[in-house]
Amino acid sequence: MDASWIWLGVAVYVVIALAAAVLSRRGASRTMSDYFLGSRRMGGFVSAMSYSATTYSAFMMIGLAGLTYAGGVGALGFELLYLCGVTLMLIFGPRFWRVGQAYGYVTPTEMIGHRYRSKAAGATTALASCLFLIPYAAVQLAGVGYLLSGMSGGAITFTQGTTVATVLAIIFAMIAGLRSVAWTDSLQAVVMIVSASLVVILVIRQLGGLGTFFDRLAADPGALSVPGTGYFTFSTFLALTLPWIFFMISNPQVSQRLYTPGSLRDLRRMMLGFMAFGFIYTMITVVWGLTARLEFQDLASGDQATPTLLASGLVPLPLGIIVMVGIMAAAISTIDSIMLTLSSMVSRDVYAPAARRLGGGEHASADHASAGHSAEGRQLLVGKLVIPVIAVLAYGFAHLQLDLIAVLSVSASAGLLVMVPPIIGAFFWKRGTAAGVITSVLVAGSIVLYLEATSTRFLGQGSGVWGILAATSVFILVSLATRAPAEHAEDFIKTSRRRRKAGSTEPTPGAPAIATGSQR
């Protein structure tokens, strides 16, 4: 495909997305809650579309399509199990929302620090999240690089593609924080699903219809069976699936969104909208990958399946450009969401406690309200300054150009599995302690890093399996050996199950209290 058409599509997307981002600015974002959570007043539709665009990134149309190309229909089972894992949202979604309203949390790691009565626990989980999420952001940048390069036949370089994605992600995140990201996400989600659906319909028609399509697949011995060509062995399937089952609570850029809806009704709409979007988009992506498998049997990498299909004569040029923009937009929406989440955690859970220690307490001023606003302003400034730093780190990692985006995405998420035991314990186990959180994250995180760095599959299993087993064991054993904040834990758990009455909220240490009466 001619590179000039691709650049034209990118230019149109930039203009429309920038307009949506700028129009989303309603008043100045003066607080952490305004900037990073959209003032906790996001509606159901916008929340659902933003959540979908954040979750379904370059992993889907580049990564999952590539995985389907390489391993056949087993990729469908892998992704459907992720959707089954999304049912965790029914259990944890309302609990996250209620405690966020009651205690004024801005980040999931701030919640961990408060629940276990330990700033160190919050800082440890925040830094661990940075360690594993930056590579995940890099995967999205790489997805854009592969997409533009593949569609243009190399006329647009990988570096040019990743540079464009990085700059746009920074701009969208900086304009108005979550508001601009959420509104551009909503626009992008609609483009993603409509354009991808049209392409699948048109391509299958050109291949002779559904009957011919499935007859050809049946003739491919590895397409419709598991393990098919041998790619999806049990251990491979488990290693890929396990991080995705817990993705909703282990990935902070996703769980942070549970603080943003304006009401429980909006939260429910977000859940239902996301699950419907996810099922449709999964089926489209798998069919896409199977189509590429039939038509292009000698690709060097599965990640080239989507770019090759879009650049082929099977897809009309205008529609191919629109789909390309949708995939690019999906990747950028995930990147800027990760940047917002990580910058808020660095500011809230690392910088703020350190500043209080060095300053002898930021609220030691005689004018308590003035000191609180000043501290909040400094945290917000630090958060904004961290955004481009995270982007540069992800950009550097993306240029390692490691293989298979889907596998890299899962590897990054495998490290975040170490957050699962402390989060489940926060809501359901009063005996959990800060020492258990810190030790489990450090020990299990180190194990995952070692296994990934050395490409070791101990007893044939992936790093995520050993990570979550180690995290669970260490968290339980160390917690049982140390003293738990039982009274505070009971109060937290009760709050997560029902709304508190107005006036009974307890502020997070160093965070503004969010009174329930102030919410819509």
* Matching residue, tokens 């995967």: 139
- Distance set, CA 199 to CA 13, 96, 206, 276, 441 (Å): 19, 38, 10, 19, 43
Sign for the CA dihedral angle at 154, 159, 162, 163 comes to negative
pLDDT (tens digit per residue) in 85-117: 777 888 899 999 999 999 999 899 999 999 999
Tell which residue, 442, 464, 468, has the closest CA to residue 452: 464
As a whole number, mean pLDDT of residues 419-437 equals: 95
Q: How many CB atoms lie within 10 A of CB 80?
A: 16
Q: What is the pLDDT of residue 100?
A: 92
pLDDT above 50 (res 450)? yes
Say how far apart CA 284 and CA 201 lie, in whole Å: 9
Higher pLDDT, 368 or 143: 143
Say how far apart CA 510 and CA 356 lie, in whole Å: 9
Range name among 14-23, 272-281, 437-446 with the lowest pLDDT average:
14-23
Pick from 22-26, 320-324, 362-366, 501-505 the range whose average pLDDT is largest.
Answer: 320-324
Q: What is the pLDDT of residue 401?
A: 56
Sign for the CA dihedral angle at 276, 278, 281, 284 comes to negative
Mean model confidence pLDDT for the chain:
80
As a whole number, mean pLDDT of residues 20-28 equals: 65
Report residue 404's pLDDT band, with 50, 70 and 90 as the boundaries.
Answer: very low
Report residue 370's pLDDT band, with 50, 70 and 90 as the boundaries.
Answer: very low
Q: What is the pLDDT of residue 509?
A: 40
Q: What pTM was estimated for this model as a whole?
A: 0.80
DSSP 213-246: HHHHHHTSTTTSSSSTTTT--HHHHHHHHHHHHT
Residue 186: partners with Cβ closer than 8 Å, 6 or more residues away: 45, 46, 49, 50, 53
Q: What is the pLDDT of residue 203?
A: 84
3-class secondary structure for 34-73? HHHHHHHCECHHHHHHHHHHHHCCHHHHHHHHHHHHHHCC
Encoded amino acid at 481, one letter: A
